[in-house]
Structure 1
Amino acid sequence: MSSERLIYLPLGGAGEIGMNAYVYGYGKPGQERLILVDLGVTFPDMDTTPGVDLIYADISWLKERADRLEAIFVTHAHEDHVGAVAHCHEALGAPVYARAFTANIARRKMEDAGHPPEAVRTVSAWPEQIKAGPFTVGFLPVSHSIPESAALVIDTPAGRVVHTGDFKLDTNPVVGEPFDPDLWAEVAKPGVKALVCDSTNVFSSHPGRSESEVGPAITQLVEDATGMVVATTFASNVARVKTLAEAGQRAGRSVVLLGRAMRRMIEAATETGILSDFPRVISAEEALDLPRQNLMLIVTGSQGERRAASAQLARGKYRGIELKDGDLFLFSSKTIPGNERGVIRIMNQLSEKGVDVVDDSAGLYHVSGHANRPDLEQMHALVDPQIVVPMHGEHRHLREHAKLAEAGGRAGVLAVNGTMLDLSGNAPEVVDYVETGRTYLDGSVKIGALDGVVRDRIRMALNGHVTVTVILDEDDEPLGEPWCDSMGLPETGVSRAGLIEVLEEDLNQFLMRADVKTLRDDDKLEEAMRRIVRQSSQIEIGKKPEVTVVVSRMK
């Protein structure tokens, strides 16, 4: 029996949707040579991560073993798969391999972060393969909602692993390669040890629809509109952006792309040869000189992002363009769970302007980029793996996908972030648990989710803040009375007196009766004053604010 093993370890993306990062290793236990598949981000929200810019997986485990990391392979250019590559490059240092379109996006991110873009290497599609230590990895084309998506064929001494990435079974995806079942059957023919598989739509019981099916409905909607038409979708969905632009062109409208991400994706698709016949677009400045009924705007912000073009148009003007009564706004996208509040806010703001808002509640103007349950069953049958490892999904998705695999007579295993599997034998075995978490990009600084920074920010947002300042003389006697400053708190409480006056009086009473031992000990003094402020505030306003005590001593 071999003393070496094949391991799989998700650091992100298993037990959640987003922030994908999957480690594979081969070798003696504790000495495995490693590769990383995807390194993505997820996005913050004001409720749980206020002020945070981006969130990605805690790579501490991998950073400690960076000398054993052979390479990073990126399946496609969605932010939840490629968004953290530049942020982690300094810590990991490994070469990054991707297909042309994804590599183009990754290089732009590297340049923006001040890292060498040549660290990202372009790879052709299967049958080309890259040697990375004990692994040989090839990019197998698959359809998704972004061009040049790929599954990975990972050959190891313990057998072949197929990592699907995000995928759907679309034989007519408008832009990019169609799903080719014959090619996949050819790859599966030698036998597949494990299929590590997308689980996002495991609860959708109907077969997935083709991207080409939304074109006619969108075209009809645009042709019937009488005012300006604005449409938003994921900027990365190049096929949808093209469909929208062509609908505008067919209706005799001039097309305008608004939003940096939208323009960047179309530029990348054009530079890499994926797009060659995109309709002509005009600038926002040129649009101002045209009748509004002759315009079709395609804008960023389908998920309610506050700074994106959609939100700015809903609030007022963007680049001089303003929406008015009788205009049409189309959400050609699905709202990601957690983003509903922002999207609904924009819809209501648009409605207040008299704009007709159309979403995809009827299923006419959007199709998913992920495989539905019947498609997953078809993939299982086509690849016929010994083991199915569900990934890219919340816990309930992974659990249901594992049940689906077992119902088909295959071993299914539930492995959430931090679960290390040994895939070497005939059945998967959990061999270790690794502590995982999240890293926050907060402005220009990286902080840990457990560092307390965001926790304190949330507590201040919920409870307000009081700063207490007291000065003590050379004899440790209070020099005058303490004073307070507050933020985020009402001016008066239930006593009708000013909150600050009440706090200062209670603190002064405490100082007048405090013993010498307390007055000489900064820690005891701060703790006592903090407790008084919180207790008095609770009585006055029903809240216990966060308190900062500043003790100054004269020498």
Structure 2
Amino acid sequence: MSNERIIYLPLGGAGEIGMNCYVYGYGKPGEERLIVVDLGVAFPDMDTTPGVDIIFADIAWLVENRARIEAVFITHAHEDHVGAVGHCFERLGAPIYARAFTANIARGKLAEYGYSEDTVRTASKWPETIKAGPFTVGFLPISHSIPESSGLVIDTPQGRLIHTGDFKLDAQPLVGEAFDPDLWAEVSAPGVRALICDSTNVFSPNPGRSEVEVGPEIEKLVASAPQLVVATTFASNVARVKTLADAGSKAGRSICLLGRAMRRMIEAAIETGVLTDFPRVVSTEDAAAIPRENLMLIVTGSQGERRAASAQLSRGKYNGMELKEGDLFLFSSKTIPGNEKDVIRIINNFSERGVDVVDDSSGKYHVSGHANGPDLARLHEIVQPQIVVPMHGEHRHLREHVKLAKSKGRAGVLAVNGMMIDLSGNEPTVAQWIDAGRTYLDGSVQIGAMDGIVRDRIRMALNGHVVVTVILDEDDEPLGEPWCELKGLPETGRSHAPLVEVLEEDLSQFLGRAGDKTLTDDDKIEEGMRRIVRNTAQNEIGKKPEVTVVVSRLS
């Protein structure tokens, strides 16, 4: 029996929604040749990751095994699948393959880091394939909420794997390729060892709806609006952006796109031939001169992002445009869990301005890009895999997806980030555990989630900060009194005296009592002063702040 094996290792996207990064390997244990599927990002929040720009998978294990990586394959152009290519390429050094539209987006991200267009190789759709070491990989078209989404057919010496990527079963997606059940059945006919499958909407009990269903409802809404119409959706949902633009055009309105991401996606779709009949758009300068009842803005910021066009419009003027009482604002999107506060803040801001806001609570103006529970069951039946491996979902999604597979008599395995699965036998087994953390882009620097930097930032935000400075002369005697600088702390406490004066008095007493062993040892001075500040602050204001002690000595 061969001692070679197939392995599957999620580094991001399994146990969470977003930050997708998956590894497949084939060969002898510890010597497998590897391919990487997707390099995506997640987005921070002020509660847990203040100041962080984006988050992506910790690829330390991949870097350690860089010489074994054959290629990187990107399934589609959503940020949680392609957003980290520019940040990770140099450390991985492997060629990147993607279909034309996705490649266009990926090249733009890599260009920001000075990489040439040749870094990303444009792949054709199935049945054309790419040889990558022991793997043969093909891009299998499937519908999603962005053009040219593809599953991957991954052939190994021990059988065929299918990695779905993100998908829905949409026969009329308007833009991009429709789901073709006959093609998927044909590809699956030789036998599929494992289906590695999107789990995002596993709990949704009804079959998913088609993109074509939202167009008529949006047209009615836009046609009935008496004044300016503004709509937001995911910038990457090219079909929805086109639906919105078509609705505005049919209502006799000029169309203006606001937001760099929105314009970039439409440009990429036109450049790659995905879009051929998008309505003519006007510039923001020209839009300002068009009567409000004849204008429609399509803007970024459907998730409440503070810098996006939606949020800025809700706070006042943006690029010379301003919403007024009686205008209509449409959220043609679903609010991703965790973004509710930011979206509601925008809605309330618009409400204060007298703007009528319509969201998707009615279900009329948005359909999901992910397969619902019945759709997942249908794909299982089409593919007939030996093993189902749920991916792209929180733990509860993965667990429910395993239950769905087992209810139909199929083997299922719940694999979270860092769990290396051996897919070679009749039943999947855990082969190894890998440290699978997170990397933060903090400004222009990549830092580890466990480095303590963000933790310290959170502690300062929660507790405030005190800087204590003390100077000692050549004889190790204090030169004057220590002084404090406070940030994020109230001016007075329980004693009603200024907090800074109470702290400085207690610190002076500490120095006055200190012996030579303390005064000649910077570490002991810092330790003592830190303890004094925290204890005094606790008594005065009920908080223990973070403390920095600066000891200066005259030589």
Aligned partner letter, 1:513? R
TM-score (norm 2): 1.00
In the alignment, which residue of structure 2 is the partner of 1:341? Answer: 341
Q: Give a deviation string over 1:214-238, Cα, whole Å, max 9, x none.
A: 0000000000001110000000000
TM-score (norm 1): 1.00
Look up the SS of the partner of 2:17 in the other structure.
Answer: coil
Look up the SS of the partner of 1:35 in the other structure.
Answer: strand
1:43-62 counterparts in 2 under 5 A?
A: 43-62=43-62
CA distance in 2, matches of 1:533, 1:250: 68
In the alignment, which residue of structure 2 is the partner of 1:36? Answer: 36
CA distance in 2, matches of 1:61, 1:34: 12
Look up the SS of the partner of 1:318 in the other structure.
Answer: coil
In the alignment, which residue of structure 2 is the partner of 1:178? Answer: 178
In the alignment, which residue of structure 2 is the partner of 1:353? Answer: 353
CA distance in 2, matches of 1:250, 1:13: 40
CA distance in 2, matches of 1:254, 1:458: 46
In the alignment, which residue of structure 2 is the partner of 1:511? Answer: 511
In the alignment, which residue of structure 1 is the partner of 2:328? Answer: 328
In the alignment, which residue of structure 2 is the partner of 1:213? Answer: 213
CA distance in 2, matches of 1:277, 1:459: 53
Look up the SS of the partner of 2:484 in the other structure.
Answer: strand
Aligned partner letter, 2:374? P
Q: CA deviation at 1:247?
A: 0.4
In the alignment, which residue of structure 1 is the partner of 2:136? Answer: 136
Q: Give a deviation string over 1:403-432, Cα, whole Å, max 9, x none.
A: 100001100100000000000011101111
Aligned partner letter, 1:129? T
CA distance in 2, matches of 1:535, 1:330: 53
In the alignment, which residue of structure 2 is the partner of 1:530? Answer: 530
Unaligned runs of 5+ in 1: none
Q: CA deviation at 1:335?
A: 0.5
Residues matched between the structures, number = 555
CA distance in 2, matches of 1:155, 1:305: 41
In the alignment, which residue of structure 2 is the partner of 1:391? Answer: 391
1:274-293 counterparts in 2 under 5 A?
A: 274-293=274-293
In the alignment, which residue of structure 2 is the partner of 1:436? Answer: 436
Q: CA deviation at 1:186?
A: 0.5
Look up the SS of the partner of 1:485 in the other structure.
Answer: strand
Cα RMSD, aligned residues only: 0.5
CA distance in 1, matches of 2:176, 2:296: 24
1:136-175 counterparts in 2 under 5 A?
A: 136-175=136-175
Look up the SS of the partner of 2:421 in the other structure.
Answer: strand
Q: CA deviation at 1:150?
A: 0.1
Q: Give a deviation string over 1:517-546, Cα, whole Å, max 9, x none.
A: 011111111011011111111111111111
Unaligned runs of 5+ in 2: none
CA distance in 1, matches of 2:304, 2:484: 39
1:56-135 counterparts in 2 under 5 A?
A: 56-135=56-135
Q: Give a deviation string over 1:14-62, Cα, whole Å, max 9, x none.
A: 0000000000000000000000000100000011001100100000000
CA distance in 1, matches of 2:503, 2:79: 48
In the alignment, which residue of structure 1 is the partner of 2:468? Answer: 468
Look up the SS of the partner of 1:115 in the other structure.
Answer: coil
CA distance in 1, matches of 2:492, 2:350: 38
Q: CA deviation at 1:115?
A: 1.9
CA distance in 1, matches of 2:495, 2:316: 43
Q: Give a deviation string over 1:160-210, Cα, whole Å, max 9, x none.
A: 000000000000001000000010010000000000000000000000000
1:194 and 2:197 matched: no
Q: CA deviation at 1:507?
A: 0.3
CA distance in 2, matches of 1:426, 1:132: 25
Q: Give a deviation string over 1:344-397, Cα, whole Å, max 9, x none.
A: 110100100000010001100000000000000000000000000000000000
Look up the SS of the partner of 2:192 in the other structure.
Answer: coil
Instruction: Provide the identity percentage.
Output: 77
Q: CA deviation at 1:116?
A: 2.3
CA distance in 2, matches of 1:21, 1:290: 46
Look up the SS of the partner of 2:131 in the other structure.
Answer: strand
Q: CA deviation at 1:118?
A: 1.0
Q: Give a deviation string over 1:412-467, Cα, whole Å, max 9, x none.
A: 10000000000001110111111110000000000000001100011111111110
In the alignment, which residue of structure 2 is the partner of 1:297? Answer: 297
In the alignment, which residue of structure 2 is the partner of 1:544? Answer: 544
CA distance in 2, matches of 1:312, 1:113: 28
CA distance in 2, matches of 1:115, 1:64: 22
1:489-508 counterparts in 2 under 5 A?
A: 489-508=489-508
Look up the SS of the partner of 2:24 in the other structure.
Answer: strand
Q: Give a deviation string over 1:491-525, Cα, whole Å, max 9, x none.
A: 11111100100100010010000111011111111
Look up the SS of the partner of 1:543 in the other structure.
Answer: coil
Q: CA deviation at 1:117?
A: 2.4
Look up the SS of the partner of 2:504 in the other structure.
Answer: helix
CA distance in 2, matches of 1:364, 1:535: 58
Runs of 4+ in 1 over 2 A off after TM superposition: none
Look up the SS of the partner of 2:385 in the other structure.
Answer: coil
Q: CA deviation at 1:293?
A: 1.1
| Farther-moved stretch of structure 1 (281-290 vs 110-119) | 110-119
In the alignment, which residue of structure 2 is the partner of 1:553? Answer: 553
1:375 and 2:386 matched: no
CA distance in 1, matches of 2:112, 2:246: 32
CA distance in 2, matches of 1:45, 1:238: 26
